[in-house]
Structure 1
Amino acid sequence: MNVAIVKYNAGNIKSVDNTLRRFGIAPVLTDNAELLAKADRVLFPGQGEASGAMRYLKERRLDEVIRNLRQPVLGICIGQQLMCRHSDEGGGTDCLGIFDADVIRFAPRKHEDKVPAMGWNSLHGLASPLFAGISDGEFAYFVHSYYAPVCESTIATTEHIVSYSAALNKDNFYATQFHPEKSGSTGEKILKNFLEL
């Protein structure tokens, strides 16, 4: 299988690459529009900051390329946030607009509410083939300060201060706020499910 990882100067790409290699897949890390279009599956993972990431994508017209992909695409962490309409991060950033949701920052309500959210959270309402073989309440690893509220594209929820979208899906586009590549056997199963969509 030909798998491409979108190159856009985001951090934490290596862990996704390593997980795919354990599956016997050697992904290509690229910002080449033709290679992305020809791939069987495209991953859009990473950690970073929304405004800088969108600037990089727009400078290379990758925003248009990603929106026009027709094969299964999986955004991870900031990849999910960038696939939404807008992010409050960086003073406000217009994003790819694939999901009709605006990304907002966690607002602590009491002293013990920590930002960023960091650690293992349970997944609920698993409504997608992406979660085949995953039981409601299984745990995944999160680390983030911004989140997508529950919306019509939500296929899984979790909770930190508020209930929010742990995963989204619209047409061929899928996304997880959590890091499947850091989520043990549960995350590996989710990645395998994506590769089999």
Structure 2
Amino acid sequence: MPRRSRNGPSTLPPRPDFIALEQAAQRSGEQRVAFLSLIGDLNFAWSNNESMFIYVLMLLLDTDEAAAAIVFSTLNTTRARLDLAQRLAKIRIADRALRAELDAVIEAFSAATRLRNDLNHATFVVDGNGAITHTQSMKLEEARGRLRFGTRRPVDQARLDEIAAATQELYALNRRIWDLLPQLERGVAMS
């Protein structure tokens, strides 16, 4: 990455014309609202699923809901919560099929989490008409010993379809978790 000198030209991007962008955004409102609504629906479905892991922890820890919620909120990342659930399952669930189902649920949730994180931790690229054209990942990626600043992905129909499909998968996953809870309850009691 070139360094700028004190007297040399700036390497910063040009400052946006915020007034023009805000005016253009009003004209592109329908596209923006549709895209942001999909992200909102994804977040809604994702959050409802994440909170279900309180009950998974409650059963695996053999405790009450309040204590499980304390453990859940003390672990400050989704990954830590899922890791704990998987580790507890290894010592608390003897039935391999039941443990495999919990692992499958966690993997499905983890896949949706990657998309959610990508969208929630992105910079949105806006064109001169105010339309959101791309997302720029805020994640640093390393490949062949070189660091690069995240991936830029277009906000096109394929991306919108990907988000909508992931949201529907999360709705189905929520039902799957609800169906799994009584099985976990029985499986933990038997171990």
Bigger Rg, structure 1 or 2: 2
Q: Shorter-chain TM-score: which interval?
A: under 0.3
Q: TM-score, normalised by structure 2?
A: 0.23
Higher normalized contact order (CA 8 Å, seq sep 6+, divided by chain length): 2
Per residue, is there more strand in 1 or in 2? 1
Q: TM-score, normalised by structure 1?
A: 0.22
